[in-house]
Structure 1
Amino acid sequence: MIELKNIHKSYTRKNTTVEALKGINLKVNKGDIFGVIGYSGAGKSTLIRLVNYLEIPTKGEVIVNGQSLANFNKKELRETKKQIGMIFQHFNLLESKKIFDNVAIPLVLQKKGKQEIKKRVTELLDFVGLSDKSNSYPSELSGGQKQRVGIARALASNPSILLCDEATSALDPETTQSILQLLKKINAEYNITIMIITHEMAVIQEICNKVAVMEKGKIIEVGTVLEVFGKPQHPTTKNFVQTVIHAKVPTSLQNNVDFRHQTFKLEFIGETASEPIIYELIHHHHLKLNILYANMTEIQGTAIGNMIIQLNGESSNIQHALSYLQNKNVLFEEVHT
């Protein structure tokens, strides 16, 4: 559906060249809700603007639906762009036009007939829950409602791809949740492939099935959301994951914990999260166990549990207990501070 091959993007200003993207290789399959996450300046927005050729790569190839965009003439590129909708962080609505007219803009530009426009816009406003706002102006709407208008406008041309550039970062948490649910509905009912740029790992957790992590113009980690959340490899990825899955001893407890006892961080994924692992450690391995921290998170319908424990007992019993954890596919590492 979308493929970026060895993409480089550079900007030259005042005789200074800045390389925004450095050797990007990425593939988004049909039906994916694919998230791209990174801190400010990572190159996320530049990357997503390549997909509809708002930005042209300095080097490399952008392939959409099996066709390289570099091979298209202007007319062919315009036709391809009709299949790629885009949602913006700050809505980009025309304040002087009513909601109906804002949604109709792509159809008017395509010179569709009045009846076709009316039918499509009415259908979309109903889909996004704004049927009663057709004659309102953007200034009369909340931030969440404005974004729903932006989504309806992006869907007007029946795109096969929907790009979302920080589409929820200007919204409060409750409104963000409703917009994410709407995007999931669009993906499921219209079979539209969605690519989301964000700096919020909670957005990735809620809606995406795959994720790429960016840093300084490069992709440093990519995989399914469950893989990346369950086994983050890069320090930056680990930092993002920790914003959603907290797995540290609270600061208020650290000064009161005796780390002379062996302390371990455990991670349970899937079925192991519901098994009586702790019971086994206490009763079958004859250990005293102190739970310093524990939580449970659901990622793509799979439970991920994190726990920090101290084991106190005979050294041989502790080693047998660690072997038991390994056999149960429980990830563990010793914590020293």
Structure 2
Amino acid sequence: MIELKNIYKTFKKKDAEVQALKNISLKVEKGDIFGVIGFSGAGKSTLIRLVNLLERPTSGEVIVNGDSLLSLTDKQLRTAKKQIGMVFQHFHLLESKSVFDNIAIPLILQKSKKGDIRKRVIELLEFVGLADKEKAYPSELSGGQKQRVGIARALATNPSVLLCDEATSALDPQTTMSILQLLKKINQEYNITIMIITHEMAVIQEICNKVAVMEQGEIIEQGNVLQVFSKPSHPTTRSFVKTIVQKELPLSMKGKLSHTSGSKIIRLEFLGSEMTQSFLYELVNRFEVKPAILFANMVEIQENIVSTMTISLTGKEEQLVLACLYLKEQGIQVEEVSA
């Protein structure tokens, strides 16, 4: 559906060159909601603007719907771009035009019939929940409503791909959630592939099934969202995941921890919530140890529960070792925590 191959992008600034993207390769499958996350300056916006050639790569290949966009004629590229909708962070609505007219712009530009334009715009207004705002102007709308207009406009030409450039970062948390639910609805009901860039891991958690993490113009980690959340390998990815999956003990508790002879403090990570009671029960019954829960956290990701727990284990050294081996055999990640 979308494939970027060995992409480099260099910007020239006066006498210097800035390499914004370095050897980027990724593939977005049909039906994906693919998230790209990174801190400011990581190259996210440049990356997504390559997909519809708002920015052209210095080198590499951009493939969308089987077409290598850089090899197309101008006429062929215009046709290909009709299959790529884009939603912007700051809405980009024309203040002098009504909601209806803003949504109709792409259809007017492709010279659709007036009857077809009206039918499509009314359909989209209903779909995005703005059926009563047809004659309103952008100045009369809230931020969330403006973004819904922007989304409707991006959908006007029935694209197969929807690009979202920080589509929720200018919105409050409640409105952000409603926009994310709308994007999920678009993906499911219209079967539109979505690529969304963000600096918020909560956005990735809520709707994405795959994610790529960027830093300094490079992709440092990518894969299934559940895999990346549960086993992040790069320090930057781990820092993002920490904003959602809380693993560390609160500072107020850390200062009170102490290791005594015959005790261990361990951090456990595992999928699922139902096994919690089971493995604690097994520890007590199989080994001469006493577990005590110090901290626990559960997060739902793609209908899976990612659980983290810090416990203290008290008992004889050989029993503590056996208990930790047992936990690892159950597929639980075990890490000893220093006081």
Q: Counterpart in 2 of 1:104?
A: 104
Q: Displacement of 1:244 after TM fit? A: 0.4
Distance in structure 2 (CA, Å) of the matches to 1:72 and 1:107:
23
Q: Counterpart in 1 of 2:288?
A: 286
Q: Displacement of 1:282 after TM fit? A: 2.6
Contact kept, 8 Å, 2:205 with 2:301, in 1: the verdict is yes
- Mapping for residues 244-259 of structure 1, pairs under 5 Å: 244-259=244-259
Q: Displacement of 1:47 after TM fit? A: 0.3
Return 5+ residue gaps in structure 2 as ranges: none
Q: Counterpart in 2 of 1:216?
A: 216
Contact kept, 8 Å, 1:273 with 1:305, in 2: the verdict is no
The two structures have a TM-score, normalised by structure 1, of 0.98
Q: Counterpart in 2 of 1:134?
A: 134
- Mapping for residues 249-328 of structure 1, pairs under 5 Å: 249-260=249-260, 261-270=263-272, 273=275, 276-328=278-330
Contact kept, 8 Å, 1:262 with 1:310, in 2: the verdict is yes
Contact kept, 8 Å, 1:209 with 1:224, in 2: the verdict is yes
Distance in structure 2 (CA, Å) of the matches to 1:274 and 1:117:
56
Residue 109 of structure 2 aligns with an amino acid whose one-letter code is L
Residue 240 of structure 2 aligns with an amino acid whose one-letter code is F
Query: Which has the higher mean CA deviation after the structures are superposed, 219-228 or 254-263?
Result: 254-263
Query: Which has the higher mean CA deviation after the structures are superposed, 55-64 or 256-265?
Result: 256-265
What per-residue deviation string (whole Å, max 9, x for no partner) do you get for residues 120-172 of structure 1? 00000000000000000001111100000000000000000000000000111
Matched, 1:148 2:148: yes
Secondary structure of the corresponding residue to residue 94 of structure 1? coil
Q: Counterpart in 2 of 1:14?
A: 14
Residue 140 of structure 2 aligns with an amino acid whose one-letter code is E
Q: Counterpart in 1 of 2:81?
A: 81
Contact kept, 8 Å, 1:38 with 1:198, in 2: the verdict is yes
Distance in structure 2 (CA, Å) of the matches to 1:317 and 1:251:
29
Distance in structure 1 (CA, Å) of the matches to 2:259 and 2:211:
36
Runs of 4+ in 1 over 6 A off after TM superposition: none
Return 5+ residue gaps in structure 1 as ranges: none
Q: Displacement of 1:259 after TM fit? A: 3.6
Residue 3 of structure 1 aligns with an amino acid whose one-letter code is E
Contact kept, 8 Å, 1:272 with 1:330, in 2: the verdict is no
Distance in structure 1 (CA, Å) of the matches to 2:221 and 2:275:
25
Secondary structure of the corresponding residue to residue 189 of structure 2? helix
Distance in structure 1 (CA, Å) of the matches to 2:72 and 2:49:
17
Q: Displacement of 1:281 after TM fit? A: 1.6
Q: 1:268 to 1:290 in 2, by over 3 A?
A: same
Secondary structure of the corresponding residue to residue 132 of structure 1? coil
Query: Which has the higher mean CA deviation after the structures are superposed, 67-76 or 125-134?
Result: 67-76
Structure 1 vs Structure 2 CA RMSD: 1.1
Distance in structure 2 (CA, Å) of the matches to 1:32 and 1:274:
32
Distance in structure 2 (CA, Å) of the matches to 1:316 and 1:46:
55
What per-residue deviation string (whole Å, max 9, x for no partner) do you get for residues 264-321 of structure 1? 1101113764551112223321212232210111110011110011211111111111
Contact kept, 8 Å, 1:272 with 1:329, in 2: the verdict is no
Distance in structure 2 (CA, Å) of the matches to 1:336 and 1:50:
46
Contact kept, 8 Å, 1:265 with 1:307, in 2: the verdict is yes
Q: Counterpart in 2 of 1:158?
A: 158
Distance in structure 1 (CA, Å) of the matches to 2:112 and 2:17:
43
Q: Displacement of 1:16 after TM fit? A: 0.6
Contact kept, 8 Å, 1:165 with 1:196, in 2: the verdict is yes
Distance in structure 2 (CA, Å) of the matches to 1:157 and 1:201:
30
Secondary structure of the corresponding residue to residue 307 of structure 1? strand
Contact kept, 8 Å, 2:289 with 2:319, in 1: the verdict is yes
Distance in structure 2 (CA, Å) of the matches to 1:279 and 1:19:
55
Q: 1:304 to 1:313 in 2, by over 3 A?
A: same
Q: Counterpart in 1 of 2:24?
A: 24
Q: Displacement of 1:27 after TM fit? A: 0.3
Contact kept, 8 Å, 1:273 with 1:304, in 2: the verdict is no
Secondary structure of the corresponding residue to residue 257 of structure 1? coil
